[in-house]
Amino acid sequence: MAAILIENLRKSYGRTVALDGIDLSVPEGSITGLLGPNGAGKTTVVRILATLLRAGSGRAEVLGVDVAAHPRRVRRLIGLTGQYAAVDELLTGMENLVLIGRLFRMRAAEARRRAPELLEAFELTEAAGRLVRTYSGGMRRRLDLAASLMTQPRVIFLDEPTTGLDPRSRRALWEVIERLPRDGTTVLLTTQYLEEADRLAGAITIVDRGRDIAHGTPDEIKELAGGARAQVVLADRADAERAARILRRHGDGPPGIHDDSVIVPVAGGYAVIPGILRDLDAAGVRVSDLSLRRPSLDDAFLALTGHTTSTGEEQGHARLGDAQEARAER
Ligand code: ATP
């Protein structure tokens, strides 16, 4: 049985179409990534599954339970963690977890037994007695995730869990998320970080403008972008147009110019490299680096959608979309 099943899900906010017929199936015990740029509809999917929002039409089920027909039953099965930690600043880490447990009607003794286990698992034991106000962003996210696991949900939604975290905190959270399926927990992870989906998710569904446009393992998705690419880094970026004309002759598709690099899809793999170098050399184009690389998820996204996603580098991590800073400041 699929832990999460969505069929032809639609949702509009006034005239804005947020979901335009999405399908999704998440196997039990897996981590599945919902990858897409800002505004693609990821949060809307999660909010419908978490019974916080009603769909316009279509079907959404969690462990076989219809979210629209039985929202209370669904709520007992799920956990939700968002981008903004929902923990109380004026309580300690331990107090937060016990409180959450009590709110979900756990017995006091059970809440007091489970809370330290989770604090230990998320490396928060030392900070357990400190007010959350003194926690770093990464510690808050870990506590927030721990809070959503107090009731041992079978399905957990992680909505952009690492957005705004520094690389070290992000990696620490990844290690925690990676372990969740070991207890049979199913994870639906939304992210705009390509690297995050690649690292954590066994399967990825790419969403764009309210539609699912591709589904597969990270490697299968990359395959959709076609074969390898040759990337030439120029000593002088003024040579880019000239280099692109030369690469067009050797490539398997149109070359693209990115800053001081020219990238072209190549069908023949390494065999094309000597010819490229010879022709660039003959034209007097100086090359500071030349490499052959497999397509990235970002290449796949561009190939699939046909529109640019202005991929940025933030803290060394590629992402889709560029409204991240605006969001982090909100
Ligand atoms: P993000 O990465 O920014 O969270 P997302 O993929 O989660 O993006 P959604 O938040 O689901 O995208 O938004 C999908 C579309 O619906 C966007 O065009 C957004 O502007 C719009 N939208 C979302 N919530 C509302 C709302 N409450 N009222 C009006 N429009 C909304």
DSSP annotation of 193 reads B
Which pair of structure tokens corresponds to residue 5? 């099943």
Q: Does the beta carbon of 38 sit less than 6 angstroms from any atom of ligand 1?
A: yes
CA atoms within 13 A of residue 275's CA, in its CB half-sphere: 13
Q: Does the beta carbon of 114 sit less than 6 angstroms from any atom of ligand 1?
A: no
Amino acid at 97: L
Report the residue among 24, 44, 309 best suited for mutation to probe ligand 1: largest number of ligand atoms under 8 A from its CB: 44
Q: Does the beta carbon of 253 sit less than 6 angstroms from any atom of ligand 1?
A: no
Average pLDDT, integer, range 32-42: 90
What H or E segment, with its residue span, contains residue 156? strand 155-159
Q: Does the beta carbon of 13 sit less than 6 angstroms from any atom of ligand 1?
A: yes
Scan for tokens 């919902």, then name that residue.
34
Cβ distance 65 to 77 under 8 Å? yes
Domains 2-222+309-329 and 228-293 share a fold: no
Q: Among 36-40, 92-96, 192-196, 325-329, which is the least confidently predicted range?
A: 325-329
Q: Does the beta carbon of 16 sit less than 6 angstroms from any atom of ligand 1?
A: yes
Non-local CB neighbours of 5 within 8 Å, separated by 6+ positions: 24, 25, 26, 59, 60, 61, 64
Nearest CA residue ID for atom 15, ligand 1: 18
Calculated CA dihedral for residues 277, 278, 284, 285, nearest 10 degrees: -20
Question: What angle, rounded to 10 degrees, do the helices at 137-149 and 108-121 form?
Answer: 140
Please tell me the predicted confidence (pLDDT) of residue 195.
Answer: 82
Please tell me the predicted confidence (pLDDT) of residue 307.
Answer: 60
What distance in angstroms lies between residue 219's CA and the mean position of ligand 1's atoms? Answer: 28
Please tell me the predicted confidence (pLDDT) of residue 316.
Answer: 32
Nearest CA residue ID for atom 20, ligand 1: 39
Average pLDDT, integer, range 3-8: 97
**Looking at ligand 1, which atom is closest to the CA of residue 36?**
6
Domain boundaries, the chain: 2-222+309-329, 228-293
Candidates 211, 244, 206, 201; CA nearest to 225 is 206
Please tell me the predicted confidence (pLDDT) of residue 84.
Answer: 60
pTM across the whole model: 0.76
Q: Does the beta carbon of 43 sit less than 6 angstroms from any atom of ligand 1?
A: yes
Q: Among 38-52, 70-84, 105-119, which is the least confidently predicted range?
A: 70-84
CA gap 235, 255 in Å, rounded: 18
Q: Does the beta carbon of 40 sit less than 6 angstroms from any atom of ligand 1?
A: yes
Average pLDDT, integer, range 245-266: 90
Cβ distance 247 to 231 under 8 Å? no
Please tell me the predicted confidence (pLDDT) of residue 304.
Answer: 79
What distance in angstroms lies between residue 164's CA and the mean position of ligand 1's atoms? Answer: 18
Q: Does the beta carbon of 169 sit less than 6 angstroms from any atom of ligand 1?
A: no
Q: Does the beta carbon of 191 sit less than 6 angstroms from any atom of ligand 1?
A: no
85 pLDDT higher than 90 = no
In sequence order, the β-bridge partners of residue 187 are 31, 156
**Looking at ligand 1, which atom is closest to the CA of residue 41?**
11
Report the residue among 16, 47, 188 best suited for mutation to probe ligand 1: largest number of ligand atoms under 8 A from its CB: 16
323 pLDDT higher than 70 = no
- Could you tell me which CATH class the domain 2-222+309-329 is placed in? alpha beta
CATH 3.30.70.100 corresponds to the domain 228-293: yes
